[in-house]
Every structure is written in C-alpha cells, then in structure tokens.
C-alpha cells in the first residue's frame, strides 16, 4: 500500500466536495479508491454528531482489497485551541498495541532468540515462582493467571491519573504470592502479562522496547506515524487530546498519565493501522509466516481453544471470520477490525470517551458487507436478587470491623459500623459503603467490588478476600491498628 502523504495535501487543497476528482487523479499512483457515494453518505452520517461545535471526534478509515476507499476526519483534536482532527492525527491506540508487542515476540522466536514455551523466570528470576510455571505463551494468550496491574494498583490506592511505569508494574508483580488461577486453566484478560512481554523483549535484545519496535516492526512495515510512548510528557505534533463528558454535560480532559509499555501506550494514525491490517490477507514480502503465527489461537489445559490469538481476538461477525481488538485509555477509544476473507478492514480512532466506537466500526462493515448488525439482547435475569434476600439486621456487623492489611499491595482498609451499615475507609479512596450479598459476603463500589470475610474455627473473622473483575481472592489479614506504620 503506497504512501498517502501527497494525497492528504491534495485533499486539503481540493476539499471533500472534489473528492471524486481527487480519487480519479491519484488512484493509479497511490492505491486510493472510493466507496459508493450512498455508502459514503451513510458512513458519514454515523459521525455527524462529532462535527458539532466544540466537540471531540476522530478519524475513520476503510481498506478494501488493498485500497483506502474511505478516510475522513471529524470533530476536534483540541477543544482548547479549536484544532480539528485530520487524516494524520495521532491517537493513543490503547490495547490495540498488544498485537504489535506480540509481533515482537513472534519475530524474536523466528530468529531463535526465545521460545514461546520459555518460562518467564528464565528472564526475570525475581518474579515469584508460583505453584505452576508461567510461560511466554501464557502471557500472550491471557491464560497466565497473573492479576491485572490496573486493578491491583486501584486496590492499593492508585488513582486513574497517577503516573505508572513498567518498573511500577514489575515491582508490584514481585510482591504477589498467588495467582487468579493455575496457568492455562482459564482465559482472563490481564494487562500485566503484556508489560512482562515488553520487558522480555528489552531483556533479550538489550535495547529499549520503543527503539526495538521502531526498528524491527514499524519502520519495516512503513508505519511512519506509529511509535511507543514511554513518556507522555513529550511534545508530539498533531496528537489529539482526549476528553470525556462530565456529569455536568461538559467536556473535560481525560489524559491518562501512564507510561507503561507492551500492554498499551502506542500512538498511531488511521492510515498506519490500515497498512498493518493489509498484512493479514496480503502480507508484505517476508512477513507472511509472522502474520500467520500471529493468528494462532490459544488453548486451555483441558484442550479447549480460546478466541484470543497473539494480541488479537478472532471471532465471527455477520457470519464471517473477523480479527479485532479495541483500545481504551484515558478518553481515547479505538477499534480495528479485519475481515480477511473479504479483504476488508475498518479503523475507528476517537478522542471522545463516550463514543460507541466498536458499534460504529461494526455498522460500517455491515454497510460494506450488506449486512445488519444484531443488537445485543437485554439481560433478563435480576442482578440484585441475592442482595434483596439478605437482612443485615440479623447479622452482627461488629464481627466485621477492624483493620485488614495485604502485603501483596502494601495497603490496608479499616472496616467500621455506622448505625446499621458496614463501611470501610482507605487513605486515598475515602469512605466506601458495604452491602451484604450473602452471609459473610459484601458488595461495594470501585475498587473493592466483592469482599468475602474469612473466619477461624471459633467463628472469629481473621481476614478477608477481595475479588474484582481481574483480581481474584486477594488476601487481607486482620491486624491491630497499632501494627500499621
């Protein structure tokens, strides 16, 4: 797929009303086509609300049979300065980054530098040796059982805008004494594993992850506007600021002050991601085997396959094979989907956290495939039934009061009774209210979610386990207040 920079300059000169003339002019040289005018209008309509005054937006692209047939920018990259998004605006692509990290591992395995069957302690002996070994393959397929560092940090008191690096993640990993499950037994998405993969790449190559990726992945694939961001304080030209809609229905900045790599924090453009997507069905010379390996599905210990390959989901949409991944970080929302058998790819990059980005990408694919997306069926089972069945008044809430400490995240929560309600406090999260779900089990708001009390043979509460979406059974021991430094 040829360079589009000259095409963009012509777009700016001629404007979108002269797009047909532009396409006819450059198509033989640059591989730029055009969707049917009715299809184009329908796609534009999905994003018209982004073009309202003082609204963030995004950049949307479609690749069909090696030609960019749709590329359009909507809304603003910066609300402060009134700078509109353009076809070359950079967005943080979040977890779409994982497939590039996985490609780095694939290349190093093909060069004989490492094996996906290697245990992680081969490269980082300081990582705890759990009851069962964790391999690189487990990390790639999210079957390692490693707890997700975002949720561990939240439980430890980190807030969303706290700066976090790979060093922070690795330090937290060294403190862990248990896993969510035996490696290979389950699939559970974990950002921790992909940070470890980035660290392994640095370990075996002796280069910074961002430099190695630039020289071995992005430049060879001619992705000129893609890079690893390990310092979000750097000034970068044409990078979008991300936003969210506050409760007051006004836009506020939603920048994530994060600098971890491997699991996220790569920046790219719609055009570069379409170049990448093209390789899944028409790979660049010398890259065919690498992209085949990237599509190898993982499996569990019981032999059951999962639909996660090397940093990508492989599933079906409209009855067709689809390769896809989403990215969510700060106010950035990104989605890449590829229909390899139809040679169709769709990219939606936005700097607006409330945008239904995945749905919009699927709707675009549906138009081009003459299909209609089925809307998800609403949940029909009552989700609060257990809570309603319990009567806290029949339980001695004083049993659950006290201070509980976890050495795995070096933090404590103090539980106390206020009237007929059990509450807890944390130095950074403040006061949280508990609701009984069943005997000795409570539900709470972020970051706690589920709290299960543990008793000894005498019936005394001696500790508790906290479980969240991606952290299971994190142990907190009941201690005396005087034990806290």
Q: Are 439 and 395 spatial neighbours (Cβ–Cβ below 8 Å)?
A: yes
Of residues 345, 334, 200, 353, the one with CA closest to residue 267: 334
pLDDT at residue 394 in the model: 62
Place of tokens 């890259």: 287
pLDDT at residue 372 in the model: 67
Give me the sign of the Cα torsion angle 391, 397, 399, 400: positive
pLDDT at residue 257 in the model: 72
Place of tokens 């590829």: 338
Q: How many CA atoms lie within 13 A of 466 on its CB side?
A: 26
- Coil vs helix vs strand at 172: helix
Q: How do residues 178-230 score in pLDDT, each as one tens digit?
A: 999 999 999 999 999 999 999 999 999 999 999 999 999 999 999 999 999 99
SS (H, E, C) 221-274: CCCCCCEECCCCCCCCCCECCCEEECCCCCEEECCCCECCCCCCCEEECHHHHH
Give me the sign of the Cα torsion angle 121, 123, 125, 128: negative
Q: In whole angstroms, give the CA distance from residue 132 to residue 127.
A: 13
Q: How do residues 69-94 score in pLDDT, each as one tens digit?
A: 999 999 999 999 999 999 999 999 99
pLDDT at residue 311 in the model: 99
Percentage of residues of the chain with pLDDT beyond 70:
87
Q: Is the pLDDT of residue 7 over 50?
A: no
Q: Are 271 and 61 spatial neighbours (Cβ–Cβ below 8 Å)?
A: yes
Q: Comparing 343 with 483, which gets the higher pLDDT?
A: 343
Q: Are 309 and 246 spatial neighbours (Cβ–Cβ below 8 Å)?
A: no
Q: How many angstroms from the chain centroid is the CA of residue 7?
A: 32
- Give the contacts of 16 (CB within 8 A, at least 6 positions apart): 72
For helices 166-174 and 149-156, give the axis angle rounded to 10 degrees. 80
Q: In whole angstroms, give the CA distance from residue 212 to residue 365.
A: 34
Indicate the pairing of strand 441-443 with strand 435-438: antiparallel
Indicate the pairing of strand 251-253 with strand 227-228: unpaired
Identify the band that residue 53 occupies on the pLDDT scale cut at 50, 70 and 90: confident
User: What are the C-alpha distances in Å from 80 to residues 75, 89, 237, 252, 254?
Assistant: 13, 16, 15, 10, 13
Percentage of residues of the chain with pLDDT beyond 90:
81
Q: Is the pLDDT of residue 485 over 90?
A: no
Q: Comparing 235 with 84, which gets the higher pLDDT?
A: 84
Place of tokens 């043979």: 457
Q: Comparing 4 with 148, which gets the higher pLDDT?
A: 148
Predicted model pTM: 0.89
Q: How do residues 240-277 score in pLDDT, each as one tens digit?
A: 999 998 876 789 999 777 899 999 999 999 999 999 99
Domains of the chain listed by start with CATH number: 1-34 (no CATH), 92-145+180-368 (3.40.710.10), 385-483 (2.40.128.50)
Of residues 352, 374, 268, 283, the one with CA closest to residue 50: 352
- Give the contacts of 388 (CB within 8 A, at least 6 positions apart): none
Of residues 311, 202, 221, the one with CA closest to residue 273: 221
What is the distance in angstroms between the CA of the first residue and the CA of the last residue of the chain?
60
Looking at the DSSP assignment, which residues form a beta bridge with residue 119?
135
Q: How do residues 274-288 score in pLDDT, each as one tens digit?
A: 999 999 999 999 999
- Give the contacts of 400 (CB within 8 A, at least 6 positions apart): 415, 422, 434, 442, 453, 461
Cα radius of gyration rounded to whole Å, the chain: 25
- Coil vs helix vs strand at 168: helix
Average pLDDT, the chain: 89
Q: Is the pLDDT of residue 30 over 80?
A: no
Element (H, E) at 72: strand 67-74
Q: Comparing 8 with 163, which gets the higher pLDDT?
A: 163
The backbone torsions φ and ψ at residue 340, rounded to the nearest 5 degrees and listed phi first, read: -60, -35
In total, the chain counts a number of residues equal to: 485
Q: Are 109 and 116 spatial neighbours (Cβ–Cβ below 8 Å)?
A: yes
Q: In whole angstroms, give the CA distance from residue 424 to residue 416.
A: 6
**DSSP states along 320-342:** EEEEEEEEEETTEEEEEEEEGGG
User: What are the C-alpha distances in Å from 322 to residues 11, 223, 357?
Assistant: 31, 23, 16
**Both tokens assigned to 256:** 């994530």
Q: How many CB atoms lie within 10 A of CB 28?
A: 8
> Helix H segments across 148-190?
149-156, 166-174
């Amino acid at each position: 797929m040829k360079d589009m920079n000259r095409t963009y300059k012509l777009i700016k000169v001629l404007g979108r009303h002269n797009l047909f003339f532009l396409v006819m002019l450059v198509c033989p040289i640059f591989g730029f086509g055009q969707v049917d005018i009715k299809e184009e209008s329908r796609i534009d309509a999905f994003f018209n609300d982004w073009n309202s005054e003082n609204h963030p937006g995004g950049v949307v692209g479609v690749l069909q049979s090696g030609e960019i047939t749709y590329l359009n920018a909507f809304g603003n990259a910066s609300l402060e300065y009134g700078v509109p998004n353009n076809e070359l605006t950079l967005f943080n692509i979040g977890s779409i980054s994982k497939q590039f990290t996985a490609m780095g591992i694939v290349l190093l395995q093909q060069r004989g530098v490492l094996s996906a069957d290697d245990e992680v302690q081969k490269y980082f002996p300081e990582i705890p040796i759990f009851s069962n070994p964790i391999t690189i393959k487990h990390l790639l397929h999210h079957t390692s059982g490693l707890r997700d560092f975002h949720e561990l940090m939240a439980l430890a008191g980190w807030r969303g805008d706290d700066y976090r690096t790979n060093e922070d993640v690795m330090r937290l990993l060294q403190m862990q004494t248990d896993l969510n499950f035996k490696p290979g037994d389950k699939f559970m998405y974990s950002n921790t594993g992909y940070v470890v993969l980035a660290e392994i790449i640095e370990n075996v190559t002796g280069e910074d992850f961002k430099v190695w990726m630039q020289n071995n992945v992005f430049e060879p694939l001619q992705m000129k506007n893609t890079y690893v961001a390990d310092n979000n304080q750097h000034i970068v030209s044409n990078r979008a600021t991300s936003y969210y809609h506050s409760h007051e229905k006004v836009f506020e900045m939603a920048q994530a002050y994060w600098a971890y790599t491997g699991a996220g924090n790569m920046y790219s453009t719609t055009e570069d991601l379409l170049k990448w997507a093209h390789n899944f069905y028409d790979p660049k010379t010398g890259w065919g085997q690498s992209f085949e390996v990237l599509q190898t599905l993982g499996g569990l210990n019981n032999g059951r396959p999962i639909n996660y390959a090397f940093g990508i989901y492989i599933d079906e949409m409209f009855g067709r094979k689809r390769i896809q991944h989403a990215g969510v970080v700060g106010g950035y929302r990104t989605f890449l989907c590829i229909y390899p058998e139809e040679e169709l790819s769709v990219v939606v990059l936005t700097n607006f956290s409330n945008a239904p980005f995945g749905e919009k990408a699927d709707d675009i694919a549906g138009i081009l495939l003459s299909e209609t997306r089925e809307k998800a069926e609403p949940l029909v089972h009552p989700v609060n039934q257990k809570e309603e069945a319990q009567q806290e008044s029949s339980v001695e809430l004083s049993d659950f009061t006290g201070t509980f400490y976890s050495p795995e995240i070096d933090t404590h929560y103090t539980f106390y009774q206020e009237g007929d309600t059990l509450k807890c406090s944390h130095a950074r999260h403040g006061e949280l209210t508990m609701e009984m779900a069943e005997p000795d089990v409570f539900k709470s708001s972020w970051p706690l979610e589920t709290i299960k009390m543990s008793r000894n043979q005498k019936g005394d509460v001696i500790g508790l386990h906290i479980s969240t979406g991606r952290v299971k059974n994190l142990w907190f021991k009941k201690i005396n207040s005087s034990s806290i430094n």
